[in-house]
Amino acid sequence: MQTTSQILNAGQTLAIAEVGAYFQIFESYAPVTVRFMINGKVLMTAEDMEAGFYASPGDGFDRVELTSATQQKVKIGISDGSGGTNRMTGNVNATIQTASSVLNRAIVNVGTVETPLMAQRSDRYGFRVLNSGATNIAIGGPGVTYATAVIVLAAGEVWNEETAPGAAWVAISDAAGGVLKAMELIA
């Protein structure tokens, strides 16, 4: 059995040219669409499949395509049908990481120009941001604009970041006078 792990961006199609008779999704955090092909023709399409999905289409396949609506890591396995696995993910005994310090940050005034929110920091396990102003405020990675932002906080909303807390983060508002309060959770 061959296994493959890949980060899929939203809307991206991962094409794997691999001859096989058995396919399984080991890890996915959101549903994916899977297309099985042979000689350039689609044999079967399975929509909104999650971890645990497996298939053995007819006479096998020579290409598999995966598409995800959201960015996520996907791990799959392909074999000739003579073997497989029933273990879905890595560690069974997971250790939960907890923070040992809480840092209350100074208030961040945010306008219509990108404003630094959090510098990159490898020991940060999470952070919380409260939009305590009257404007809408977008947060994201450096270079984000209000128009391209995925995370937008209305007045009074809180964002808990646990997926990429150690990355550098910036903020931008839809109008002048935005106000953010932030708290970091540090190892």
Q: Is residue 86 part of a domain?
A: no
Question: Same structural domain for residues 111 and 181?
Answer: yes
Q: Is residue 87 part of a domain?
A: no
Question: Same structural domain for residues 74 and 116?
Answer: no
Range 100-104 contact pairs with CB under 8 angstroms and sequence separation of 24 or more: 100/186, 100/187, 101/185, 101/186, 101/187, 102/183, 102/184, 102/185, 102/186, 103/183, 103/184, 103/186, 104/182, 104/183
What CATH number does the domain containing 6 carry? 2.60.120.380
DSSP classification of residue 133: S
Q: Is residue 121 part of a domain?
A: yes
Question: Same structural domain for residues 105 and 182?
Answer: yes
Looking at the structure of the chain, the number of domains it has is 2
pLDDT at 91 over 70: no
pLDDT tens figures, 47-78:
999 988 999 888 899 999 999 998 888 999 88
Range of the domain at 174: 101-186
pLDDT score at 154: 94
pLDDT score at 57: 87
pLDDT score at 49: 92
pLDDT at 150 over 80: yes
Give the best-scoring range by mean pLDDT among 45-49, 107-111, 157-161: 107-111
Question: Same structural domain for residues 105 and 43?
Answer: no
pLDDT at 93 over 60: no
Question: Same structural domain for residues 65 and 119?
Answer: no
pLDDT score at 3: 84
pLDDT score at 168: 96
What band does 88 get if pLDDT is binned at 50, 70 and 90? low
pLDDT tens figures, 7-49:
888 888 888 988 999 999 988 888 999 999 999 899 999 999 9
Tokens (6 digits) for 22: 């058995």
Q: Is residue 16 part of a domain?
A: yes
pLDDT at 92 over 60: no
Range 149-155 contact pairs with CB under 8 angstroms and sequence separation of 24 or more: 153/129, 155/131
